[in-house]
Structure 1
Amino acid sequence: MIEQAKNTNFQLKRSDSFNSNVDINNYNKSWAEVLSNMNRYKIIDIRDPVNYQMYRVKGSLNLRSLEEIKQKNINGPLIISCYKGRSSPSFALRLREEGYEAYSVKKGIEGFKEETNFKII
């Protein structure tokens, strides 16, 4: 399971290799902001499938790679969630480089459990 985390989509690139059109300073959203605009965002949960099945944000999708997102033809503003908000920023930046409007959510699914009583299934 640890080996799966070595997926290239999770690795940060050197700052000089980022697309200059990508805003690397504005990508974190709070769960309160996301939940108040649920009809605007698609939540992508990048945790492993076992943990995703145990608990997740209602309506979220468990997609762990850029290729999966492209295959599913996912569009619109994307909110990327992980366990604690450590992996999602680099994944969101990678998506932005590919032209997606993508944001990381602060503190991941753990922040969701802390911030809200919104239904986790």
Structure 2
Amino acid sequence: MAIAWERFLTQVQDRGEYATTRDAEQVTRAVLATLGAHLVGAERKELAEHVPPQCRPLLMVPVPATRPLSPHEFVEAVAVLIEGATSETARWDAGAVLSTLADTTGDDLVHRILTQLPPGYALLFGRAELA
């Protein structure tokens, strides 16, 4: 069952220490849109079932990425979508959203998602990187 939009945003706002819910919404939309382009198959569909309905279109982007992004490139792609963001703030933003996402979906799905992504993403999801 999906978490409510307001609750999800409140968790992102708390983790990211954002001043407003609007700020939390902006970073959530940027991070999930970037992530959605890099997931495929059952994991993307299952993830979409765990997020608020407002997030589903972001994850189910019709055009997949042409190549996998390294965690650094992912953060840079997020920074482009957030007005005034830097690499450092975008890394913070990605961590706030992805760790909230990980906590709402559970370890099994997070593990399957991480296997689709290049090494180094676990920390953005608030998880230890396993060798």
TM-score, with structure 2 as normaliser: 0.28
Higher strand share: 1
